[in-house]
């Protein structure tokens, strides 16, 4: 590694072994020394991991083709098994699928971040392939194509926004991506290698997309990655092109490729998708959710309602009592495990607009409780009603929606330079008018691009100003 990457560890109070702390610090723009030190530690951790990336550039095209063929073959076998009656491979219940959305949120909400640091090279033709991938991760500034915007909406739709309390391993990949974003100059080979590995199509992406749709959950974020990461014209291909363009022609290309392999290995750190899915435990997650609720609800209940001779407030006073409280609710008939949730009086208290506890439990929490109720105590198959697929739900909704009206969009961001932007007018406001004024006041294209790049950072690009900045940058960079 270059000497600049071996900077003295910062005395900022950030524990470099704490992925969660590093993640949040880098997201808020911490000292780049934090990023460099964290990457050094993670590269050392990954150094002993296996790596099937070919050692020479000439072999990599065939390596990608073989990988794609192998994934396709395995996916066809999966589909054949499902057609023959095999159960879902990943998601036993809908709550497990929603848990998965939360479990990978720290990574998905910084999607593409590792490439942010190459934007400063926008004038260098050798970096155009890498920059193009980043712009496409940002949806080229179109809100419904921006990957982070799509995922944020997916979390909000299902009440899964509260992911910050996830265990440490869930933040490792996101912290790596943010660290690469802040250290692109010193860790370019590692960044390129990480990008090459991340953009290869994994089998779990195909299967999760299929099973999320089955469970009535919009799989668009995942299916979008299936298409944009394809090995023919997508990011898997572009990632290899990006490596070819930045590989030294005069310097030590072999040493560069060894560092590329080091970056490639970073993809295997932290908790992977399959491991995150498997970490779900319905009983544990339900108890933990109710224990968290108890901290707020322990003083909110009247004394007239008692369970096993004790008030609800008394039961909720100590979160450790939640498992016993649930047992007592079951013994007294408030909860009927292994039956449809509608048969339980407790469920009727929390579900429905006229329920006594309407609004207390999010959509995810209600799904968790429903799946817990319908699952027999001690295991066994839950009595889960069939859920219409997302596509079926979408078709039903489409019949109720009238065609969108067409309005003329106002002028583009920079007058006389850009055509009217059909997306900009929908979000234009005071902040965007201020951005327009600041761009008009810049003395040069370099100055304008620097302003735009600042708004395209991982913590900014999904905002209205960031989306507008991405659209303008995309045009100016052409």
pTM of the model: 0.87
The Cα–Cα gap between 44 and 262 comes to 9
Predicted local distance difference test score (pLDDT) of residue 399: 53
Distances (CA, A) of 324 to 78, 243, 287, 346, 380: 41, 58, 10, 15, 21
Q: Which residues of the chain have pLDDT under 70?
A: 1-17, 229, 231-233, 297-304, 379-381, 383-386, 393-429
Give tens-digit pLDDT for 310-365: 888 888 888 899 999 999 999 999 999 999 999 999 999 898 877 778 788 999 99
DSSP character string of 150-197: HHHHHHHHTT----TT--GGGGHHHHHHHHHHHTTTTSHHHHHHHHHH
Predicted local distance difference test score (pLDDT) of residue 409: 38
Predicted local distance difference test score (pLDDT) of residue 318: 86
The residues with which 311 forms a beta bridge, in sequence order, are: 306
Joined tokens for residue 381: 């198959």
Q: Which CATH number fits domain 15-278: 1.20.910, 1.25.40, 2.60.40, 2.40.50?
A: 1.20.910
Residue 109 near residue 164 (C-beta atoms within 8 A): no
Predicted local distance difference test score (pLDDT) of residue 412: 39
Pairing of the two strands 306-307 and 310-311: antiparallel
Distances (CA, A) of 309 to 62, 122, 313: 70, 70, 12
Predicted local distance difference test score (pLDDT) of residue 293: 85
SS3 label, residue 50? coil
Classify residue 116 by its DSSP letter. Answer: G
Q: Which of 38, 41, 65 is nearest to 54 (CA)?
A: 65
| Domain regions of the chain by residue span | 15-278, 282-374, 424-476
Residue 364 near residue 160 (C-beta atoms within 8 A): yes
Determine the straight-line distance between the first and last CA of the chain, rounded to whole angstroms. 33
């Amino acid at each position: 590694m270059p000497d600049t990457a071996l900077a003295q560890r910062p005395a900022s109070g950030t524990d470099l072994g704490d992925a969660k702390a590093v993640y949040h610090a880098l997201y808020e723009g911490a000292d780049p020394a934090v990023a460099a030190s964290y990457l050094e530690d993670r590269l050392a951790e990954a150094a002993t991991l296996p790596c099937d990336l070919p050692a020479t550039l000439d072999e990599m095209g065939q390596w990608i083709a073989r990988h794609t063929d192998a994934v396709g073959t395995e996916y066809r076998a999966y589909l054949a098994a499902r057609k023959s009656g095999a159960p879902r491979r990943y998601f036993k219940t809908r709550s497990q699928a929603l848990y998965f959305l939360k479990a990978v949120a720290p990574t998905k909400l910084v999607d593409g971040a590792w490439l942010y640091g190459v934007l400063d090279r926008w004038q260098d033709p050798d970096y155009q392939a890498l920059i193009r991938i980043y712009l496409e991760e940002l949806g080229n500034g179109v809100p419904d194509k921006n990957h982070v915007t799509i995922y944020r909406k997916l979390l909000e739709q299902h009440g899964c926004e509260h992911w910050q309390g996830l265990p440490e391993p869930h933040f490792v990949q996101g912290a790596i991506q943010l660290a690469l974003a802040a250290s692109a100059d010193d860790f370019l080979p590692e960044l390129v290698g990480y990008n090459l590995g991340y953009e290869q199509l994994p089998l779990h992406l195909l299967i999760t997309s299929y099973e999320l749709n089955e469970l009535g959950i919009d799989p668009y974020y995942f299916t979008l990655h299936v298409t944009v990461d394809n090995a023919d014209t997508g990011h898997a291909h572009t990632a290899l092109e990006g490596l070819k363009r930045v590989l030294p022609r005069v310097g030590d290309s072999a040493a560069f490729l060894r560092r590329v392999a080091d970056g490639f290995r970073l993809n295997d750190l932290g908790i992977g998708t399959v491991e995150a899915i498997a970490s779900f435990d319905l009983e544990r997650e339900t108890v933990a959710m109710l224990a968290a609720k108890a901290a707020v609800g322990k003083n909110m209940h009247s004394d007239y309602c008692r369970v096993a001779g004790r008030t609800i407030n008394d039961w909720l006073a100590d979160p450790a009592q939640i498992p016993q409280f649930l047992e007592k609710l079951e013994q007294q008939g408030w909860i009927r495990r292994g039956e449809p949730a509608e048969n339980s009086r407790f469920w009727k208290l929390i579900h429905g607009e006229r329920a006594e506890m309407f609004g207390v439990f999010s959509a995810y929490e209600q799904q968790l409780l429903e799946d817990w109720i319908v699952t027999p105590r001690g295991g066994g198959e839950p009595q889960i009603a069939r859920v219409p697929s997302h596509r079926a739900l979408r078709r039903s909704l489409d019949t109720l929606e009238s065609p969108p009206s067409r309005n003329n969009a106002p002028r583009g961001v920079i007058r006389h330079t850009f055509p009217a932007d059909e997306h900009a007018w929908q979000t234009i406001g005071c902040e965007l008018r201020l951005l327009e004024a600041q761009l008009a006041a810049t003395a040069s294209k370099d100055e304008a691009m620097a302003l735009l790049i600042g708004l395209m950072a991982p913590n900014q690009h999904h905002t209205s100003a960031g989306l507008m900045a991405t659209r303008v940058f995309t045009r100016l960079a052409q």
